[in-house]
Structure 1
Amino acid sequence: MTPPRFHGYAALVTGAGQGIGAATAHRLAAEGASVLVTDLDGARAERTAAAIREAGGTAEPLACDVGDRAAVDTAVAHAVTAFGRLDVLVNNAYAHHDDAPLFEDEDDDSWAHTLDITLTGPYRCSRAALPHLVASGRGAIVSIGSVNGEQDFGGHAYSAAKSGLASLTRTLAGHAGPRGVRVNLVAPGTVRTGAWAGRDDALKRAAGLYPLGRIGEPEDIASAVAFLASADAAWITGTTLRVDGGLLGVNTGFRRAMAGESGSAG
């Protein structure tokens, strides 16, 4: 019988207490990886890890603030100590704040915090993990970007951070490739996570703008992460994989407008 795709692998997933991070941790564990589930909220991390263990997987929880270098270094060291190695890093943790009505009223602290967690956080995590990923001989970094990094969907700081993360993916891929580590990014469209809680009407409207007729689920993104982290993607690095239901490739709203149909953005 063929062993699971991540048999013998160890992975660290940030922001894994809920949403895309939790789904990714579950997916990697279901395919054989030992997973360090990290989250700013330690209780959320524990719940995800417990659910993975209940399902027969291997997982440990750890509270980790990716805005704190010491906490990041501790998390990477914890993964290596607990599992004996580190093969996969998934940079999923992010921060977001609502735009001010006028750009000139944007707040410096909110801007800085969003960039620090969303862009500099993956930088800290990748820096700490890289020597261990090199040592594994099959290391992979997969970061979670966004369609916001490629097109305007609002969110000045968040979009700038995600665009920067795509650039970091490319430059780090060039640096790490000769050392045997692949670096890629998944760019999701609208995904049903806690960030959309209480906004079901907006999600329903948004679904109509997707060529595939629905918004994404966390598991859709986890599947793409698992592919890029695995040996199935052994000759892929420095790429951005859009997992967006066709949003950026097909302008559904425009097509409907030209056909005389109604449609509005969510």
Structure 2
Amino acid sequence: MSATFAGKRVAITGAAGGIGQTLCRLFGGEGAFIVALDKSDKVLGLVESLAAEGIAAKAAVVDIGSAEAVAAAFASSGDIDILVNNAGYSHHPTLAQTDPAAWQSEMNGNLGGAHACAHAVLPGMVSRHSGSIVNVGSVNALHALGDPAYSAAKAGMIALTKALAMEYGRYGIRANIVLPGTVRSPLWDERAKKDPKVLETLQRWYPLGRIVDPIEVARVVAFLASDAASAVTGAAIPVDCGLTAGNIVMSRELTLEDF
């Protein structure tokens, strides 16, 4: 087993989701102790599965939208060396469907939650003069792709990441953010059952001709959290199969070429 993160305590929010579970297994497989946080009690079963795989972990059922709950969860989780702010959600695909309460809920559950978690771990990182925070954002932070409240929150996470990098770099703390495109998950599998061509439609927009696998996001997160990225901080890195490189569908139509 690789020991890239041996002795490290890694907190991962949204741990019970597709990317979250992959993150837990990747970091845990490289020697880290995992603090798995999720608002779903499915995280309890996840930790049991991790233990069966030889990965040391503890679970915390917590809604990161509550700063008080976050503070309590981290108070009993020990010193955190690496924080991965992976949790996020969207339930309102258009502005017309987003009333002020919905807007506030999604801003708080995404951006507010990331801040609450960072706020909880920073004092310990400062005292140890080391630490890494990796936020999981979205390509929605860069382009209007629907889900406006979620997108605004993810854009805010880029600003939060840069602020963390600027203010806490002198303490040896690094902060970076990855911006996934469409990630293969049970959600898309369910949508494919209703519309078998949904992934085919999506893939037209991606230069690599496919969507992202959770492990591809996890690998970039792990790189940014590792000593291999010791000089990287304040970076926003798309993990999107080329989606943000340009509009390939428009390019094909303008040039009348199938490239």
Indicate the TM-score class for this superposition, using the shorter chain for normalisation: over 0.9
Residue of structure 2 equivalent to 1:93: 87
Report the CA distance shift for 1:179/1:98 in structure 2 as closer, same or farther (over 3 A).
same
Structure 1 residues 244-263: aligned runs within 5 Å? 244-260=240-256
1:91 maps to amino acid: N
- 2:183 pairs with one of 191, 204, 228: 191
Residue of structure 2 equivalent to 1:23: 22
Question: 1:146 touches 1:188 (CA, 8 Å); kept in 2?
Answer: yes
Q: With the length of structure 1 as denominator, give the TM-score of the two structures.
A: 0.90
Question: 2:88 touches 2:109 (CA, 8 Å); kept in 1?
Answer: yes
Residue 66 of structure 2 corresponds to residue 72 of structure 1? no
CA distance in 2, matches of 1:193, 1:171: 31
Structure 1 stretch displaced more, 104-113 or 15-24: 104-113
CA distance in 2, matches of 1:150, 1:176: 25
Which structure 2 residue ranges, 5 or more long, are not aligned?
Answer: none
1:188, distance to aligned residue in structure 2 (A): 0.3
1:191, distance to aligned residue in structure 2 (A): 0.3
Structure 1 residues 162-173: aligned runs within 5 Å? 162-173=154-165
1:171, distance to aligned residue in structure 2 (A): 0.8
Residue 106 of structure 2 corresponds to residue 114 of structure 1? yes
Question: 2:65 touches 2:110 (CA, 8 Å); kept in 1?
Answer: no
Residue of structure 2 equivalent to 1:37: 36
Q: Deviations over 1:166-198 (max 9, x none)?
A: 001001111111111101000000101234342
Structure 1 stretch displaced more, 246-255 or 157-166: 246-255
Secondary structure at the counterpart of residue 198 of structure 1? helix
CA distance in 2, matches of 1:223, 1:37: 18
Residue of structure 2 equivalent to 1:145: 137
1:28, distance to aligned residue in structure 2 (A): 0.6
Q: Deviations over 1:111-141 (max 9, x none)?
A: 1100001001000000011012223443100
Structure 1 residues 169-180: aligned runs within 5 Å? 169-180=161-172
1:104, distance to aligned residue in structure 2 (A): 5.2
1:68, distance to aligned residue in structure 2 (A): 1.2
Secondary structure at the counterpart of residue 76 of structure 2? helix
1:110, distance to aligned residue in structure 2 (A): 0.9
How many residues of Structure 1 are paired with residues of Structure 2 in the alignment?
Answer: 255
1:255, distance to aligned residue in structure 2 (A): 2.3
Residue of structure 1 equivalent to 2:149: 157
Structure 1 stretch displaced more, 221-230 or 52-61: 52-61
Question: 2:92 touches 2:98 (CA, 8 Å); kept in 1?
Answer: no
Report the CA distance shift for 1:227/1:195 in structure 2 as closer, same or farther (over 3 A).
same
Secondary structure at the counterpart of residue 126 of structure 1? helix
Question: 1:18 touches 1:48 (CA, 8 Å); kept in 2?
Answer: no
Q: Deviations over 1:179-219 (max 9, x none)?
A: 11101000000101234342223222111221111100111
- Runs of 4+ in structure 1 deviating by more than 4 angstroms, as ranges, are none
1:233, distance to aligned residue in structure 2 (A): 0.7
Secondary structure at the counterpart of residue 133 of structure 2? strand
1:159 maps to amino acid: S
1:37, distance to aligned residue in structure 2 (A): 0.8
Question: 2:33 touches 2:55 (CA, 8 Å); kept in 1?
Answer: yes
Secondary structure at the counterpart of residue 90 of structure 1? strand
Q: With the length of structure 2 as denominator, give the TM-score of the two structures.
A: 0.93
CA distance in 1, matches of 2:31, 2:243: 32
CA distance in 1, matches of 2:125, 2:151: 28
1:261, distance to aligned residue in structure 2 (A): 6.4
CA distance in 2, matches of 1:177, 1:195: 37
Residue of structure 2 equivalent to 1:204: 200
